[in-house]
Each structure stands twice: as structure tokens, then as C-alpha cells.
Structure 1
């Protein structure tokens, strides 16, 4: 038995008395946080996009065939129906090929 502990359980009554006060403090903190979130400050900076950046963005967004919405829909449907399968061999082959490209590109630079 530790010094100062009595078998009557006075410590548990103290804890029980402190709980409502702690809940009230938590509720006050939550209310204060909600108030500060509601008072969102106005933006402090303005951003302007240059014409070169606009041209680069439009060129990047051009339809170069890298995004196939129909394919995405087919894959999403197969996943939702539980019919989508992963070809682990094809993924492994691509990873190895990409790694070989990176290693050979690094070797050519040095």
C-alpha cells in the first residue's frame, strides 16, 4: 500500500468531483475553438498567374491521350462489383523496367 492512500477510497470521490469541472472546461474550449473558426480572417495576399504560367497550364491540360475517362469508369465499375483483378506480374515488370531506366540514366550522367 502506498503512503497516503486510505482504504475508504477518498481519492475516487475527489476524482468524481473533478469530472464535471473538467467537462465544463472542455465544453468552453470547444466553444472558443468554434468561435475562432467562424471568424476566418480575410486573405492577406493576392496571387496573379503570369501569361507564361497560363500557357504552360493549358499545354499540360491539352488532350494528349494520357487520361481515359471511359477506362477510369470501367475500372471503378469493376472495383465496385468486386471483379477487378490486379496483374502482379505486369506491375513487377513495369517496376523493374523503370528501375533499369533510372539506373542507366544515372550511369550516363557520371
Structure 2
């Protein structure tokens, strides 16, 4: 999964603060969210060096490959490789466990 680096996420990756929302966002019931501020406040967010490194090292995605897969899904011709998916999931889980 790719996280798109918008100016907000780029600022967070650099450890800069991002202003908080100026208005309360309504919930599904239409009422303001609990604890939401309606004044113009700002919040400071500090990322650990590990988090900043992870955001900075996120590889770019291949837009052409995504478009081809999207088209194959739309056409009904996409055939996922269950073995490859399982192998990647196991490898990712092993990597996460080794970091601890």
C-alpha cells in the first residue's frame, strides 16, 4: 500500500507541525465529533526517527502496473497468485518479528 506524500504528509515526515482542523467535522449522525475544537488551534506532532525514516523510505508505486491491474480486474481477467501473496505475508510477518 502506498501512502501519497501530500504537503501535509511531507511536513509530518520532516517532523514539522500541521495545523489542526479549524472546524468540527460532523459525524454520521450530523453532530460535531466529541472533543472537536471549533477555534483556530494548532497541534505539534513529533515523529520518532524510526517513523520519519519509514515515511522517507517509502518506495514509489508503478502507476502503469496499477492501471493494468485495475483494467484486468474490470475485465474479469485478473488472477491473483495465492502462493505469492502467502509468501509475501509470511516474509513480512517474519521481518516484523525479527525487528523486536
Shared fold per TM-score greater than 0.5: no
Structure with higher Rg: it is 1
TM-score by length of 2: 0.43
TM-score by length of 1: 0.39
